[in-house]
Amino acid sequence: MDSSNTVAALTSLANETRLEVFRLLVQVGGDGMPAGRIANALEVPPSSLSHHLKNLKYAGLISCRRDQRKLIYTANFGVMNGLLNFLLKDCCGGHPEICDPRADRISDGSSVRPSK
């Protein structure tokens, strides 16, 4: 991930609703969640949610697929890991394990994708 992609992702996540949406999608994992269930879970009006989902999708943080008549949104774990790698790349003089034990798993390219 480069600087411009990182800025786009961080800018998108700098909104409370979008951060909540992204965290919810990370929690549900690879199966994703329909837009209506996201709106209900976060008590966000569908019209507002549509704007936030579009923003997260543009930043590459989420993806969308159609399942019959529903749009299913899923966190893009590759982009999430890329963002974390970029942020922790030079952590603690090249020793990310000093900063946070989880950083060692991130910086070595291991997936931190939640299990289903």
* Cα first-last separation, the chain: 26
pTM for the whole structure: 0.80
What is the predicted pLDDT for the residue at 85?
85
The domain made up of 3-76 has a fold known as Arc Repressor Mutant, subunit A (1.10.10)
Check residue 100 and give left, alpha or beta (phi > 0: left; psi -120 to 50: alpha). Answer: beta
Q: What tokens appear for 70 in the block?
A: 């529903």
What is the predicted pLDDT for the residue at 97?
66
Provide the residue type at 102 as one letter. Answer: R
Q: What is the pLDDT of residues 46-60, one digit of tens each?
A: 999 999 999 999 999
Q: What is the pLDDT of residues 53-103, one digit of tens each?
A: 999 999 999 999 999 999 999 999 999 999 988 887 777 776 666 766 555
Annotated domain spans of the chain: 3-76, 78-107
Q: What is the pLDDT of residues 15-25, one digit of tens each?
A: 999 999 999 99
Over 60: is that where the pLDDT of 109 sits?
no
Over 50: is that where the pLDDT of 116 sits?
no
What is the predicted pLDDT for the residue at 19?
97
